[in-house]
Amino acid sequence: MFMETRNMERDAFFKARIAHGIDDDKVFDLSPKVDCKMEVERALKEGGAQGVLNVMRRFPDEEGVVRRGLKAMLPLCKDEGVRRDLGHLGVVEFIVGAMKVRVKRR
């Protein structure tokens, strides 16, 4: 009985939304989500700092990927050789570009 009442209330809610011209497809983001943690961990395991940078470039609009990628690269940057290699790969330019995009959104 409780479930039946609850379903009727839900149906009434959606009918009211439709009557007011609210399109749920436009309200809810139905785009596929990126598993930020999995992407960064896989890239770190397979390609190290280069792999993480590639993932961050592949998903520049995913804030979680960029944050996790930077956090994953932080321990690697303690080595002078890795820092130099990352500089040649364009990490600094990528980070500055990502920061500019975040500032424009706010």
Report whether 65 contacts 36 (CB < 8 A).
yes
Among residues 70, 39, 68, which one has the least CA distance to residue 55? 39
Does residue 27 register a pLDDT over 70? no
pLDDT band for 1, please (50, 70, 90 cuts): very low
pLDDT tens digits for 41-80?
Answer: 999 999 888 899 899 889 888 888 888 998 998 888 888 8
Does residue 3 register a pLDDT over 80? no
Residue ranges of domains in the chain? 2-105
Confidence at residue 9, expressed as pLDDT on a 0 to 100 scale: 79
